[in-house]
Structure 1
Amino acid sequence: MSEFEHDDEIVSKSELKRAAEAQQQLGEQLVSLAEGKLAKIPLDEELLDAIHLAQRIRNTREGYRRQLQLIGKMMRHRDTGPIEQALAELEHSHHEQNALFHQLEKQRDAILATGDDAIQQFIDTYPNADRQKLRQLYRQANKQAEQNKPPTAKRELFKYLREVATA
């Protein structure tokens, strides 16, 4: 056996640096999360404390940079698979929620443009919707638009559509 038969185990210095940079970027993503989203990610107490400290010292440039490096170092000694998976799930749910809101905005605009036909389509999609309330909000929104008033009924219509869709 020669010394070159174990080439697959040799990792270049550049590759190690790229891996360390990836771990540090993962740490930066964690630091940028809000507390509610951070609670959904499986983190141990030591790493969570380091993230909270980085969030508190965000305004001090050098201290923040060093804290991010420490978080990156801590991440290299942990299994980051569950953390990456939880971040991906958060991102996916965020995209789903945005897509739902865009769909609801289109449905609201269709209701305001066509009236009863779009209301019926919405009720077909969401049978628990109240037709009377939808028609009332539709009439109020049209009346406010004719009188050049602020679109409060239009916003209320969107809130109601969102409430029905997420219920």
Structure 2
Amino acid sequence: MHRGKRMHDHDQDDDSLISKSQLKREAEAQQALGTKLVNLSAGKLEKIPLDDELRAAIALAQRIRNKREGYRRQLQHIGKLMRNRETGPIEQALHELEHAHLEQNALFHQLEKTRDAILSQGDSAIQQFIDAYPHADRQKLRQLYRQAQKQQQQSKPPAAARELFKYLREVASA
């Protein structure tokens, strides 16, 4: 009879209770976030807002990565530490790091397309690049274009094409 009363109390508070499964999913998500942090390089980890205790736990996990059982327990410990903290700023910083990487890749691919366009179209593609980046040196672009054409005709390695790409990246990054 007493047991039935407890069940009835749970039914009333059902909306405010979190299931064990939900708690486990949240714990696994926190541990996964901790694993992402452990896999970051030191330079990227510095950009993440972490307290000293969490930073030390991550550093220890990075040092004992080769110790299978110890590493697993340390990841669990990091997950436990993460559950007691507000992870919003950490997740935001991680997202920004990942997004910056995607932006770099997109710029890289765009510059490859621009280089190929310059090599195939010449002055019209150079003008399009100058329109997008007015501080670019038209004379240098034309010179690299002519050198690349000459190297291609002579079946030489595309050193000027690589130099052109480096210059485009330099201009676009400035």
**TM > 0.5:** yes
1:121 aligns with 2:152: no
1:150 aligns with 2:151: no
Regions of 4+ moved over 4 Å: none
Question: Equivalent residue for 1:110?
Answer: 117
Question: Equivalent residue for 2:3?
Answer: none
Length-normalised TM-score, structure 2? 0.90
How many angstroms does 1:28 deviate by?
Answer: 0.8
Name the larger-Rg structure. 2
1:34 aligns with 2:48: no
Question: Equivalent residue for 2:90?
Answer: 83
Alignment RMSD: 1.5
1:37-71 deviation per Cα after TM superposition (whole angstroms, max 9, x unaligned): 11111001111111112122222222221111111
Q: Taking structure 1 as reference, are residues 79 and 119 closer, same or farther at Cα in structure 2, changes over 3 Å only? A: same
Identity value in percent: 74
Question: Equivalent residue for 2:70?
Answer: 63
Question: Equivalent residue for 1:4?
Answer: 11
Paired AA for residue 56 in structure 1: R
Structure 2 counterpart of 1:141, from 135, 148, 155: 148
Paired AA for residue 58 in structure 1: R
How many angstroms does 1:151 deviate by?
Answer: 2.0
Unaligned runs of 5+ in 2: 1-7
CA distance in 2 between partners of 1:71 and 1:9 (Å): 27
Q: Taking structure 1 as reference, are residues 5 and 39 closer, same or farther at Cα in structure 2, changes over 3 Å only? A: same
How many angstroms does 1:146 deviate by?
Answer: 2.3
CA distance in 1 between partners of 2:144 and 2:18 (Å): 64
Length-normalised TM-score, structure 1? 0.94
How many residues align? The count is 167
Structure 2 counterpart of 1:101, from 108, 128, 131: 108
